[in-house]
């Protein structure tokens, strides 16, 4: 009895004070929630956290206690505080005013607190800029997954206590709702059973191939099916008026979100549809994993026909999702929806039972885990309902912090918000960082404190022994000391105050000033200025700025961390002939190491020769054909290439085939700017470098259509048919 009471109390407490979820969740779209997922107010029992984030360590009411706690983690501050308290007693004080005693410690605390406040204020403004960012969500639409209003916590607690002591019919009804015995068909406790209360009807089989694979075509009984209105797939698609501007912090689980090209993703969401005919979209995950290359995501097959706000309102499905976790590359969920068909003579239960056979779904993404035909009990005897499913994997998930690239628009459904998103689960709480010098100071403080105690103890013993000596009374005599023991005790604390400078408080004041100055110099250092982004170097944590001087080695898990994933095409070999005059920095460094060239002139000589060869190559290229996509700063330089192309021999054909292959065989996406300059976006920087070099030499990849590739080969535009 007590065990049942405790478990029910924990369950009610969890509903009253929602935290980060550790259980799977079900997200409903245009469907009524099952009764077991509603509270007494008709609101959802599952309360999802807000999409608002906070990386700042302090708030206005927690700054003082938390900051003081952080500062008194240092042993020296505790020691100085003890001395201040000790000198509050006139018997042990050596100062005329208590204010002078408090002043040094107060200076340390105020200076450090001000520095921490400035740091955290920057974090606060960064959080606000993120929380106040704009995205687009569906307006005039009811999201059944979030409560319309919040019930006060004390009311939830009061309601929880009432439910714990319910008896009779109320208790029996509650048990039926929890066990599913109140419905006509018992609910199976699996991942697919949570929404079965919405479709509680009798079940039978159906032929899988007869049901459309779209959440929009829920019924085949509509006399006038509405055709899909496909919008233009142009970049930066204009926003429909039904998509309202919404702050990131107001985005909720279950919301429809509309993203345009170059928009950041406000929350973890599943891709329902995109502007591309095949449902693909491209995202940049640099804020998540540091990778600058684009990644391909694809929409769900069942929702790919959702194109307009009206389609969002007409769709009807639910998603069973796994709990939030920190793995960026893993996600498991399932989308389920119901389609209806009219009962005909050849679809009677007897004929279906005799002609039923097991089928395996041929679709690549839509997997029919179960197919069910259901019959109503009243007026729906001629209606057959089919429940269909489609698996959701990480390839259909857009994570918060990603940026949509090279895609006109994307419509998604929010799965996780705020601190339950993967980027926040990986970041964790903002730590309190301490520098190496600060950590090494504590042992020295302890050592000096031991010396101080030894000196005080010697003076105390001497005062106690010489208490009765007339010659020492002028030096050791302490007022109000009744005997030698008392005089030694008092003398111990007096000498502790006198010798306190063995642990210098001025050192800590100086360290804080030096760290603040170092952070300022880092911020104003012209050598650390980023010209491309027009941003200076901004130290985030001033406490550890001095650790930069302790760095001896840099370990990298991959070369891209050091090279910034900048790949340059320098040389190649075609049919046994080597082309390319440029040298990599590694090759120049090898020559310097071997002493083959002087260190001060190696790069200069190489650069001068390279510029002469580049000018000669561009001149020969212009004489051969008109190249409107010419790049004067090509990284691949060799005039010999165009000499061999003009030769009209086997080597010439090999060169044309080689660079044509570079322009055709890839997954690169071209992006044309206002000046008709082509910029390539690729999943790999190597792939982008290969295609860009082919463009510089006159083999330009222009556009990609559904089944064709448009290229410009030596001034002649051609359309190639994709075979695979």
Gap between the Cα atoms of 387 and 528, Å rounded: 59
**Residues 272, 306 contacting (CB under 8 angstroms):** yes
What does the block give as tokens for 579?
Answer: 């082309």
558 is in an annotated binding site: yes
Q: What share of the chain is helix, strand, coil (3-state, %, to 5)?
A: 40, 15, 45
Q: Is 323 left (phi over 0), alpha (psi -120 to 50) or beta?
A: beta
Residue 439, annotated ligand binder? no
Sheet arrangement for strand 294-298:
294-298, 280-284, 403-405
185 is an annotated ligand-binding site residue: no
Q: In what order do the strands lie in the sheet with 708-713?
A: 699-704, 708-713, 716-721
Q: What is the DSSP string of 244-265?
A: EEEEGGG--TT-EEEEETTPBP
Side-chain half-sphere of 219: how many Cα atoms within 13 Å?
12
Number of H helices, E strands in the chain: 20, 22
Token digits of residue 418 = 């705020």
Report residue 363: phi and psi, to 5°: -70, 155
Q: Which of 534, 557, 675, 707 is catalytic?
A: 557
Q: Is 128 annotated as a binding residue?
A: no
Contacts of 412 (CB under 8 A, 6+ apart): 256, 257, 259, 265, 269, 270, 271, 272, 398
Q: Specify the residue for token string 């002087």.
A: 598
Distance (Å, whole) CA 445 – CA 1: 57
557 belongs to the catalytic site: yes
Q: Measured between alpha carbons, how far is 420 from 430 in angstroms, rounded to an integer?
A: 16
Instruction: Give CA–CA dist 57/62, Å, rounded.
Output: 9
Half-sphere exposure of 214 (CA within 13 A, CB side): 15
CA–CA distance from 211 to each of 162, 305, 385, 557, 589 (Å)?
47, 16, 10, 50, 66
| 501 C-beta neighbours (distance < 10 Å), count | 9
Pick out the residues of the known binding site for Mg(2+).
Answer: 557, 559
Write out the catalytic residue numbers.
Answer: 557
């Amino acid at each position: 009895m007590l065990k049942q009471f405790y478990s029910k109390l924990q369950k009610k407490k969890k509903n009253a004070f929602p935290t980060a979820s550790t259980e799977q969740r079900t997200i409903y779209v245009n469907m009524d929630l099952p009764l077991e997922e509603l509270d007494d107010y008709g609101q959802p029992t599952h309360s999802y956290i807000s999409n608002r984030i906070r990386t700042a360590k302090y708030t206005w009411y927690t700054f003082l206690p938390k900051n003081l706690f952080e500062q008194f983690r240092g042993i020296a501050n505790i020691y100085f505080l003890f001395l201040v308290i000790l000198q509050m007693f006139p018997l042990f004080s050596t100062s005329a005013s208590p204010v002078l005693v408090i002043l040094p410690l107060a200076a340390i605390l105020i200076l450090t607190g001000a520095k921490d406040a400035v740091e955290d204020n920057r974090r606060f403004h960064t959080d606000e800029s993120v929380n106040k960012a704009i995205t687009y969500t569906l307006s005039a639409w009811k999201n059944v997954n979030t409560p319309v209003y919040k019930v006060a916590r004390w009311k939830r607690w009061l309601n929880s206590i009432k439910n714990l002591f319910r008896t009779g019919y109320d208790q029996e009804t509650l048990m039926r709702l929890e066990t599913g015995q109140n419905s006509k068909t018992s609910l199976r406790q699996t991942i697919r059973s949570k929404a079965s209360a919405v479709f509680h009807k009798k079940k039978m089989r159906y032929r899988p191939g007869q049901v459309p694979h779209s959440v929009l075509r829920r019924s085949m009984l509509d006399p006038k099916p509405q055709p899909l209105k496909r919008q233009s797939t142009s970049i930066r698609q204009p926003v429909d008026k039904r998509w309202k501007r919404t702050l990131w912090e107001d985005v909720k689980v279950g919301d429809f979100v509309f993203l345009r090209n170059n928009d950041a993703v406000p929350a973890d969401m599943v891709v329902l549809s995109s502007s591309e005919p095949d449902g693909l979209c491209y995202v940049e995950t640099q804020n998540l994993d540091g990778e600058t290359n684009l990644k391909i995501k694809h929409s769900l097959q069942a929702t790919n026909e959702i194109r307009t706000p009206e389609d969002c309102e007409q769709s009807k499905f639910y998603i069973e999702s796994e709990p939030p976790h920190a793995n960026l590359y893993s996600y498991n969920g399932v989308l389920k929806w119901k389609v209806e068909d009219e009962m005909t003579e050849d679809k009677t239960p007897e004929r279906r039972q005799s002609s039923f056979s097991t089928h395996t779904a041929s679709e690549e993404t839509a997997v029919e885990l179960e197919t069910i035909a259901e019959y109503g009990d009243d007026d729906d005897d001629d209606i057959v309902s089919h429940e269909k499913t489609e698996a959701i994997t990480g390839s259909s998930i857009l994570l918060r912090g990603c940026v949509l690239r090279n895609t006109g628009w994307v419509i998604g459904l929010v799965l996780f918000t705020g601190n339950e998103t993967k980027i926040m689960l990986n970041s964790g709480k903002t730590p309190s960082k301490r520098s190496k010098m600060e950590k090494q100071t504590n042992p020295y403080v302890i050592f000096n404190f031991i010396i101080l105690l030894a000196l005080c103890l010697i003076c105390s013993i001497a005062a106690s022994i010489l208490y009765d000596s007339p010659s020492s009374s002028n030096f050791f005599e302490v007022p109000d000391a009744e005997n030698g023991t008392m005089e030694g005790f008092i003398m111990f604390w007096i000498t502790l105050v006198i010798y306190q400078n063995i642990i210098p408080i001025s050192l800590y004041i100086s360290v804080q000033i030096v760290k603040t100055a170092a952070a300022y110099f880092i911020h104003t250092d012209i050598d650390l200025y980023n010209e491309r982004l027009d941003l200076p170097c901004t130290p985030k944590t001033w406490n550890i700025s001095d650790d930069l001087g302790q760095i001896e080695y840099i370990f990298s898990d991959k070369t891209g961390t050091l090279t910034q994933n900048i790949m340059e095409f320098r040389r190649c070999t075609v049919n046994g002939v080597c082309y390319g005059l440029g040298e990599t920095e590694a090759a120049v460094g090898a020559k310097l190491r071997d002493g083959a060239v002087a260190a001060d002139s190696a790069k200069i000589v190489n650069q001068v020769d390279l510029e002469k060869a580049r000018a000669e190559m561009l001149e020969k290229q212009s004489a051969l054909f008109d190249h409107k996509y010419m790049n004067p700063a090509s990284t691949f330089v060799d005039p010999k290439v165009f000499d061999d192309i003009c030769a009209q021999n086997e080597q010439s054909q090999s060169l044309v085939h080689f660079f044509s292959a570079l322009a055709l065989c890839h997954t690169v996406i071209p992006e044309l700017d206002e000046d008709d300059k082509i910029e390539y976006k690729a999943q790999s920087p190597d792939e982008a470098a290969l295609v860009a070099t082919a463009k510089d030499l006159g083999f330009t990849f222009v556009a990609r259509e559904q089944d064709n590739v448009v290229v410009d080969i030596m001034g002649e535009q051609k359309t190639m048919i994709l075979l695979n």
